Structures are given as C-alpha cells and as structure tokens.
Chain A
Amino acid sequence: MEALVSFFSNYMLYILMGVTILTAVGVVYSKNAVHSVVALLLTMILVAGIYLMLDAEFIAAVQLLVYAGGIIVLFVFMLLLVALHKDEALRLFNTYTLISLGLVAFLVIMLAVVFFGTPFGPAPATVTNIVKGGSTEAVAGTLYSAYILPFEIASILLLVAMVGAIVLTKERGKS
C-alpha cells in the first residue's frame, strides 16, 4: 500500500501532464466547437491538478475559480448564443503549407531545446503541505510586496479593457 502511495506521489505529476497534453490536443482536433470547449475545460481542471501537485494549492483553487468556473463559462455562453454547431463543415485547413511547416519545425526545435535543457528529476512528493501550512500567505506576501507594480499594471490593463467594452457597446446603441 505504501509503495502505491509513493508511486502516485512521485509520478502523479507526470501522469497529469500527459493527460493534460491529450485533452489540449482534443481542443484543437475536435470538429465540434462545444466538444472543443469541454476538452478545454478538462485541460483547465488538469492544469489546476498540476499546480496542486506542485504544492501551490492557492493558485490551483484560483485556476479553477477563474478559468474553469469563469472564463470557459463565458466561452460556452457565446457558443450557445451563436449556434456554432451548425457550422461544422467549416474549412479547418489552409494552403500555406510551406510557411506552416517552417513554423512548426521552429516550434518543435524551441520546445526540444527547452525540454532537454530542463533537469527532470522525480516530481516533488507533495500534498502534505496542503493539509498543514499552505502557500496562500506566501503568494499574498510576494504578490503585494515584491511584485506590486506588475500586479497594479495588470489590473489597470483589465480596467482599460472593461471600460473599452462598455464604450464600444454604448456607441453601437446610439447609432
């Protein structure tokens, strides 16, 4: 039993990562837009699982709350409004074969460089920390002291986007 538990705590991270890649591929390859979104939802949940295995339980909860529970809901909402499922015959491939081959080759080389440059050891054996201390305070402390400027810039960026969206919809209403 202990061997099983230690196996999972050592390799669960890599299993999760593998399944995440599979669902991410599902997002791209499913022809139905709703199936794509369901795959994207699974990807987001699995990414939260990866954070959890890395002992970042606060980030994992926020990932679930914001991405799985917020942003993808809006994706589905838009899909329901525009009835995309009728456009399944959409042409999914273009004719820029050479350019895309070059780009893909470049991407694969970049990924390979990063992949072979990273020292892979056994995944950190975790989950004990989540029941005890926790990283919530550490995240808050770092975010609001060392990285306060990027944090504020990001919030202003979001505010600009929000104001922009309101302005755009108001304009359309008048004309």
Chain B
Amino acid sequence: MDFTMINIVIPAVKILIVFTVVLLAVLIMTYAERKVIAFMQVRLGPMRVGPWGLLQPIADALKLFSKEDIIPTMADKLVYFLAPTLAIVPALLTFLVVPFGDKTTFFGLLKQPTSMAISDLNIGLLYILAISSVGIYGILLGGWSSNSKYPLLGALRSAAQIVSYEVPLTLALVGPILMANTLSMKGIVEAQSKGMWFVIPQFFGFLVYMACAVAETNRAPYDLPEAEQELVAGFHTEYSGMKFAFFYLAEYANMIVVSAIATVVFLGGWLPVPGLAFLHIPAIIWFALKVAFFLFIFLWLRATYPRYRYDQLMQIGWKFFIPVALINIFVTALLVL
C-alpha cells in the first residue's frame, strides 16, 4: 500500500464510518429509550410513525432540523453559538481511540489487516479522559450565554457535579490500568485476553466507574442539571432547533463513549464471553452487544431510581466514591507489586 492509502484514505474512511455509526446509534438509542422505558412503565411508547413507531427517530430529526432557531434577547451571541459546538466536538473526538475490534481486513477489501480503531494512541484512556473533560464547557457556557436564570442554575449544578465526579471516575480507572500496565485501549483488551476480564478483580472499581459514568453524562438518577420540575430543562432551556439537537447528540454520544470505555476496560472489549468462543461471532458484534448492554443499564436506571437530592449527590461523590476508589487503587497496587 502506498503512502496516501495508509495515511489519508484509510483513516478518512474509518472516521466516516465511525461518525455514521455513532449518529445511527444515537438515532436507535432515542427510539430504544422511549420504548424500553414505556415497556417498563406498562405503556406502548411511540406507535404512530411507521410500524411500531420505528420511524419516530427520523421524524424527530426532521422536526429538529426544521424548527426555528431562537436566540434570546441579550444573549451573548458568540458564546451562545460556540456552546453546542464545544459540547459535541469533544464527544465525537473521543471515538478516535475506541477499539471496535481486533485487526481486520474488512472482509478481504484490504491487503494488510488494519486496526478497527481509528488510531491506537499509547495514552488512549488518558486521551479520552482529557478530551471529555473539555465537553463540560458546552454546558457551562451554554447556560451562561442564554441570559436566563434556569440555564444558569443548571450550568452551575452541572459544573459542580461533573468536576466532582470526574475525580472518582478517573480513580476507578486507575486500578485496571495498573493491572494492564498500559494506557492504550488495545493493550488493556489484550491484557484481559490473557487472564480474566477486569470486572472480576476490579469489581469495586467497576461499580464506582458505572455510578460516576451515569453522573458524568447527566443521566437519571444524577440528572440534576436538567431536573425538569425545578429547572425546566436546565442548561439547554433556551436552545432550539439544531443547536438543541447538538446538545442532545452530545449527551447520547457521551453515553456511548462511557459505555465503550466500560466495555474495553472492564468487560474485555471485543473478546467473546468466556465459554462462547466456539460460536465464531465477529469481534465487532461482541463489542456492540456489550456496549448495548451498558446502554440498556442507563435506561434501566432511569426507569427505576428517583433523582438524588443535591446534597446527597455531593455526599456520596466525595465521601463514598472517592475513598472506595482510593482503597481500590491501594489494594490493586499492593497485589500488582
């Protein structure tokens, strides 16, 4: 393969595929969310658009495209335009290092096998954490620039919540990194292929990670930044049309990212379930199934638990999750040594 093919064409095609898959996954996710929660509440969910309401996400997307784009008076226009971009760009950038599977030739299309991840950075996990920590500015600046009180309050809550839960989230991931001895996403999966999945030795880390991941993505029961009863819709109250769609897309993309990290770090990435390797299911299907499982947990939690009170949220974040994650690191470090 020549230079252009390796350095430009293949990465560009990979980026296009990942981008499309993520957007499609978001569409399916919005439908799944309505249906799953509807069934859990003994309702039918969307039924009108298409058979079993299957075309509902497309109808939603069309509606969002054609809505009027409202800018509040006295809004800081520059920041108001910048905020949705700042929310969605980091969310999509994090997919750069997600390994969807092992090396593949795409069914013989390529002569040499290429990695399923767009790029395998040696600081993979750190890269995801670093990039996603920038995503909070979309919420903060969006809330401030709307020049309205509910978005401002939502943004303040959101900032406090995300900064607080970023600490235990990062600490929970240190245990598996210690065991895998690498930061590369691919390396972490390969380390699990030799032994057991990290969900077993790192069970407490896994629980802390899941709880913090839900909080980081502002999902129920940690959805205080957009608590409907108190704050209308939180930071995106004043946003409409495509700008709102960007925030919406960023939220779901973030859910997929944290699910993908959980899959890679704790559930063995693209590896088959132990004992089921004889089924010859492609690696990417295993990966998708595991991510779908985590996404289902997100919906399950939303349908099950009521929202936390704000003081409870801070209490368990700082006084429970951080100590548990720290003890987990110490014990892991001792055992690894």
Interface, chain A (partner B; CB < 8 A): 1-2, 5, 32, 34-35, 38, 41, 45, 48, 57-58, 60-62, 64-65, 68-70, 73-74, 76-77, 79-81, 85, 130-134, 136
Contacts and interface: CB of A to CB of B under 8 A. Distances in A.
Contacts of B143: 80
Contacts of B129: 61, 65
B3 A73 contact: no
B4 interface: yes
B134 A69 contact: yes
B122 interface: yes
Interface residues of B, number: 36
B76 A34 contact: yes
Q: Which of B76, B122, B137 is the most central at the interface, judged by chain A CB atoms within 10 Å of its CB?
A: B122
Given A64-B130, A69-B136, A70-B133, A76 B122 contact: no
Given A73-B136, A77-B163, 16 more contacts: A1-B8, A2-B4, A34-B76, A34-B145, A38-B79, A41-B134, A45-B134, A57-B121, A61-B127, A65-B130, A73-B140, A73-B162, A76-B137, A81-B156, A130-B121, A136-B183
B80 to A, nearest CB: 11
B160 interface: yes
* 8 A-B pairs with least C-beta separation: A69-B133, A134-B122, A64-B130, A61-B126, A61-B130, A65-B130, A1-B4, A76-B140
A70 B123 contact: no
B122 A80 contact: no
A58 B123 contact: yes
B156 A77 contact: yes
A38 B133 contact: no
B7 interface: yes
Contacts of B127: 61
Contacts of A134: 122-123
B144 interface: yes
13 contacts: A5-B7, A34-B145, A38-B79, A57-B121, A62-B126, A65-B129, A69-B130, A70-B166, A76-B141, A76-B144, A77-B140, A77-B156, A131-B122
A133 B159 contact: no
A77 B159 contact: yes
B3 A2 contact: yes
B122 A57 contact: yes
B120 interface: yes
Contacts of B166: 69-70
Interface in B44-98: 76, 78-79, 82
Contacts of B4: 1-2
B134 A32 contact: no
Nearest to A85: B76
B119 interface: yes
A34 B144 contact: yes
Nearest to B130: A64
Contact of B131 (A64, A85, A136): A64
Nearest to A129: B122
Contacts of B163: 70, 73-74, 77
Nearest to B156: A80
B250 to A, nearest CB: 16
A131 B121 contact: yes
A32 B76 contact: yes
B152 interface: yes
Nearest to B135: A69
A88 to B, nearest CB: 11
B155 interface: yes
Q: Which of A69, A79, A133 is the most central at the interface, judged by chain B CB atoms within 10 Å of its CB?
A: A69
A72 to B, nearest CB: 8
A20 to B, nearest CB: 16
Given A38-B141, A64-B133, A80 B155 contact: yes
Nearest to A4: B8
A138 to B, nearest CB: 12
A85 B152 CA distance: 13
Contact of A57 (B3, B123, B133, B134): B123
Contacts of A64: 130-131, 133-134
A132 B78 CA distance: 40
Interface in B124-170: 126-127, 129-131, 133-134, 136-137, 140-141, 143-145, 152, 155-156, 159-160, 162-163, 166
